[in-house]
Chains A and B, each alone.
Chain A
Amino acid sequence: MSSGSVRRGEEDFLENRTFGVFVQEQINWRDRVYLTGAIRGDDNSAFGKNFDFVVYPKFSLSWVPTDEDFLNDVGWLSTLKFRGAWGRAGKQPDVFDALRTYEPVVGANSEGVLTPENIGNPDLKPEVGEELELGFDAGLLDERVAVEFTYYNQKTQDAIIRVPALPSLGFPGVQFRNLGEVRNTGIEMGVDVSAYRSNDLGLDFRFTLSKNNNEIVSLGGEPFIDHNSRFGQYHVAGFPLAGVFRKRVVSADLVNVDGRNEPTNVMCESGPLVPGGNFSEGGGPPVPCAEAPEVYWGQPLPVWEGGVSANVTLYRNLQIYALVDFVGGRTFENGDVMHAHLTFRQTRAMQERLDPILLGYQSLGTAGRRQAGIIDGDFAKLRTISANYTLPQRFAEMMRASRVTLTVTGQNLWTIWTAAGDEWFGHKLMDPERTNQAGGATPGLEVFLQESWPQAKRIISTLRFSF
């Protein structure tokens, strides 16, 4: 057995220490205005050795106007609360990010040796987020309608950004640096509606919607930072984090050479250049691709996320629930499709050679190969549909239980809509939500997906006894 197996033993030990001081004061005026002020000071063992203490203040204010006399006569408004907060908060680096470390490895004659592992950054400090949040919570029509709304404007300074370590400096991997300023603005809202309620029928809905605009305000003087140039991802000021920049073919002519279509006069999108780099928002007139900038295709993080759910209760013992959710504003690179078209070239489109845009990308070689897989990742799904039935009490009693319920749930059964459609240059597309996560979550800043699993369709039946 030992000859057929590989045994590994690993152990790791992480220690992180924070020295912090926190002071908070709350003031309540007539049980309707609440003011909180706080200040926090932190030092952390993960900060770079050239960085010390950091101080974060915060304030929040809330007011419940429905407790005021002038709203006593507004019958449809049950409760109303306005809230606002401003504060700063820090995010410390991970435990080893600042440290320059060496890795023990095996050398000649099985001797242990040391090799450069992590370049570290002695100047690494926490990123500091400053956020203004305004919103309200309201209950209407005897709380049959509940509304929550929040607007936020978050500015992250000294954002900790992972950049590739410069290989010529001798260390592999990545380096964490405090680079510039990133702004996130957006809204979050939720509406709960209890539309109808009687002894035999209950009907409830919930709507959620969030929008986040992510933008790099500055990179501390750098025109751009390589996030993962293999996939065309760069941090560029004025664009979202890890945006995808590639040449975009807009037209090409096909000529027949020895019975095979070849592209000619391949033109790409132009546009105003970002200072210091060959990146552009695009939108300019076509130019020969050799002269064209890398134009913006999108970002891996979604801009919009939301959902609609409905819950129907019949005769107090049958509940039917359905949830539809959606993601919008997300782009990803489908490695399976890209390689099929322009690496292995075994797709029907590449055999027939009729699509001038696809052949135009092929003609760009390395500079055009990956565009054949850059896809709009927006979708809407019937995420959950379920029925929950409480069996009559006599069945429960027959089994000496106090309650018996049967639930049948279907998950990910139907992709209602995808922005990219069913095919990309004629190649069948799979589920755009191919990650290990569920519920419309995204795979972070990495735009590339290949050989990953689609979301599993599940039907789950549950019989539950309560005693």
Chain B
Amino acid sequence: MRNMTKMTWTLALSLPLLAACDIQEILEVDIPGRVEESALENPKLASTLVTGVISDVECSWNQYTAGMAHHSDEYIPTSGNLDLIRWGERRIEDVDVQFSQGLCGGGTYPTYTPLQTARFQGEDVLSRLDGEAFAGLADLADLRAVARTWGTFPLIALGEAFCDMTIPTVEGEPGPLMTKQEVLAVAETKFTEALGMAQGVGNTALVNTALVGRARVRIGLENFPGAMADAAQVPAGFETLVSRDASESRRWNYYYERLNALTGFRNHGSVSDHYRHLTIDAEGRPTQDDGVPDTRVNVMTNGEAASDFVTQNWFHDKYNSRADPLPLVTYREARMYMAEAAARTGDIAMATELINDRRMAAGLPAMTAPATTNEMIELVIEERRRELFVEGAHRFNDMIRFRGTQFEIPFLGEPGSIHPNGISQKGDVYGTTTCLPLPLVERNGNPNIP
């Protein structure tokens, strides 16, 4: 027994020696079912990584813009679904898991995490491309330009839509609480970088994409000359689309899937009353039921009820399948930035001309110039809601950025809206959401947010 004890303690004392051995090799495991971060440092994957940035931006932009159409005054609430009704009735909460932590392809409109993931992807992939593993790649400069341009678009949404925001100053570390203007200023800087990269490789489409993106940001920052200068460079007919297909839910067009599909009780919103029968009158003023039909907002009904089985469903013709693409940036949008920049700097003549260009392109009567700058701004806002109907969260952005000004656009349920008493057409009480709340999961987990 004494001998055994001696042997045991010898073994015990040898443990620290064993611990000092290099046993990492023994513990190496294969994980074919997962892609580890280290596997990304492979030049053969460069194109895949950049396509991944586009894919995540497409997914987040699709879900964000469709969700904001539902939340804005473009739709009245017609959902019979517990979660989707909250988007129509302005009850988006900071604790809502689908809104804050839902993934691409998830239920309702997963917004916050997909946008942050897409933003991170842009930064992360660009940083990898700058590393040693990718040095010397023939198309490196092109890929960097694509990653920077596409990867900046989520910042537009994070800056425009949320009441408060945070983005990391250093990737991998929680960032500070930021205002809209601070986020948009970061976006402006990154679009400027993107422009330089895209111009450097002669990628005209990418240059124009970045120009429209920066023009939008500059409008948000009220840098009207800057926005005008950017938007004016965009050639007629230019557009960059968010591709969609019917393969998997992360690839579906959510405007169609949640709002416009006529089968399967998927009409969770019906196009609002004040988007139906839009017309232009004899003097070229925007009207409803009084003049030439405004073909830019082609809204119709088949007389059937939406998913709540009560409200008559009104739909449009922009998205008719899961595979229909949606706009990321367009020439039309750029022209509207120019019109707004002109109007807000008092150039009524130029604003009128720009609007009439769009009217002519749509086959609509031209308008005469209004007498005052304020009337002009109101006309630009009205033209934007028609020209950019159910696209790019533009209407929602206008409702947020003009809030508290004389041009305020009421949300549904607020005085001045089509449901001014706070009650929907079904008798439901509207909530109070306007800008999107910074999710509680971010507030709770980010030590820099008080």
Q: What's the least CB distance linking A99 to chain B, in Å?
A: 6
Decide yes or no: A53 and B56 within 8 Å by CB, A169-B120, A172-B101 being known contacts: no
Q: Are A164 and B101 in contact (CB under 8 A)?
A: yes
> Which of A18, A52, A115, A365 gathers most chain B CB within 10 Å?
A115
Q: What's the least CB distance linking B324 to chain A, in Å?
A: 14
Q: What's the least CB distance linking A37 to chain B, in Å?
A: 9
Tell me which residues across on chain A come within 8 A of B444, comparing CB atoms: 224-226, 229, 234
- A110 to B117 CA separation, bound complex (whole angstroms): 20
Q: Are B33 and A12 in contact (CB under 8 A)?
A: yes
- Stretch of A58-66, A100-108, A414-422 at the chain-chain interface: A100-108
Q: Are B445 and A163 in contact (CB under 8 A)?
A: yes
Q: What's the least CB distance linking A157 to chain B, in Å?
A: 19
Interface residues of B in 94-152 (CB under 8 A from A): 94-97, 100-101, 103-104, 112-113, 116-117, 119-121, 123-124
> Which of A106, A120, A339 gathers most chain B CB within 10 Å?
A106
Q: Are B35 and A167 in contact (CB under 8 A)?
A: no
A23, A102, A168: the one contacting B442 at CB < 8 Å is A168
Q: What's the least CB distance linking A410 to chain B, in Å?
A: 37
User: Does B422 sit within 8 A of A, measured CB to CB?
Assistant: no
Q: Are A172 and B117 in contact (CB under 8 A)?
A: yes
Tell me which residues across on chain A come within 8 A of B91, comparing CB atoms: 366
Q: Are A55 and B120 in contact (CB under 8 A)?
A: no
User: Does A74 sit within 8 A of B, measured CB to CB?
Assistant: no
Q: Are B55 and A39 in contact (CB under 8 A)?
A: no
What total of chain A residues lie within 8 Å of the partner, measured CB to CB?
64
Q: What's the least CB distance linking A260 to chain B, in Å?
A: 12
- A462 to B447 CA separation, bound complex (whole angstroms): 61
Decide yes or no: A21 and B15 within 8 Å by CB, A102-B35, A170-B124 being known contacts: yes
Q: Are A168 and B121 in contact (CB under 8 A)?
A: no
A18 nearest in chain B by CB position: B27
Q: Are B117 and A100 in contact (CB under 8 A)?
A: no
Tell me which residues across on chain B come within 8 A of A114, comparing CB atoms: 35, 40, 45, 48-49, 52
Q: Are B445 and A166 in contact (CB under 8 A)?
A: yes
A23, A53, A164: the one contacting B8 at CB < 8 Å is A23
A21, A110, A113: the one contacting B245 at CB < 8 Å is A110
A17, A96, A172: the one contacting B26 at CB < 8 Å is A17
A39, A41, A164, A169: the one contacting B172 at CB < 8 Å is A169
Tell me which residues across on chain A come within 8 A of B442, comparing CB atoms: 166-168
Tell me which residues across on chain B come within 8 A of A13, comparing CB atoms: 30-33
> Which of A21, A24, A164, A168 gathers most chain B CB within 10 Å?
A168
Tell me which residues across on chain B come within 8 A of A12, comparing CB atoms: 33
A11, A39, A108: the one contacting B58 at CB < 8 Å is A108
B interface list, Cβ under 8 A from A:
4-5, 8-9, 11-12, 15, 18-19, 23, 26-37, 39-40, 45, 48-49, 51-52, 54-56, 58, 82, 91, 93-97, 100-101, 103-104, 112-113, 116-117, 119-121, 123-124, 166-168, 171-175, 243, 245, 247-248, 250-251, 431-432, 439-442, 444-446
